[in-house]
Structure 1
Amino acid sequence: MNREIAKRIQIAFNNDEYEWRTINGVAKESNVSNELVQMYIAENGSEIVKSSARNEKGESLYTSRNNYRNRSISERLSSIIRNRGA
């Protein structure tokens, strides 16, 4: 994968405006195809966390390990509780 494309995808995953991202959301923000985002996840799996919950449309949710680590324990627990209700 092209380094510029990988960097744009990485920036989208690290966007702290979002707690969790869909592949489609990352693709739109980084201006690449969903397939390239999926390829990035496959190649950089240790940097990406996949949620056990899905969004209201049934799509998988992801975040960067960096974003996940930077959340407080209370934010993580709150996210778990919110996601279980969905």
Structure 2
Amino acid sequence: MSKIRKILSLSLNSKRTKLFNWHTKNYNLNGGTSNMSDDIEIRVIASLNEPEYDWRTVSGIARENSLNKDVVEHAIFKLQMKGVVVESSNLDDNGHEIFTTKKKYMRKGNFANRILTALSDKVK
């Protein structure tokens, strides 16, 4: 691994760890997952895997599942930390962040974008 890539990787992991610690503290989590948060994560993944959508917004997932947007954002963050969900480097037409599952992205994304994804925490 090149020295630059190694430094970027360490920096990214440090940022993710800080974000995870912030979420853990602010959502009163004890590091584990409860049955309720597991259920929410499963519902979020199911929404992201809907065949009629390539990418989904937090508000769309929240509306579909009758959940608070903060709850969906937290679930997406946890799923990103687990490597299940990816965020696009692009925004939707209204300027909102968009997400999909890594599996769906790898199946539908083109080869060049998948290579770039391996070097970044966001996808094109």
**TM over 0.5, shorter chain:** yes
TM score, norm. by length of structure 1 = 0.76
Distance 1:31 1:15 in 2: 16
> 8 Å contact 2:41–2:76 — kept in the other structure?
no
Q: Which has the higher contact order (CA 8 A, sep 6+)?
A: 1
Residue number in structure 2 paired with 1:40: 75
- Residue 108 (structure 2) aligned to one of 63, 68, 71: 71
Distance 2:109 2:55 in 1: 15
Residue number in structure 2 paired with 1:7: 42
Identity of aligned residues (%): 25
Distance 2:73 2:109 in 1: 28
**Residues 50-61 of structure 1 aligned to structure 2 (within 5 Å):** 50-61=87-98
User: 1:38-70 CA distances to partner (integer Å, 9 max, x unpaired)?
Assistant: 111121111111111111111011111121012
What is the aligned-residue RMSD (CA, Å)? 2.2
> 8 Å contact 2:41–2:79 — kept in the other structure?
no
Q: Which runs of 5+ in 2 are unaligned?
A: 1-33, 114-124
- SS across alignment from 2:87: strand
Aligned residues: 77
One-letter identity of the residue aligned with 2:61: V
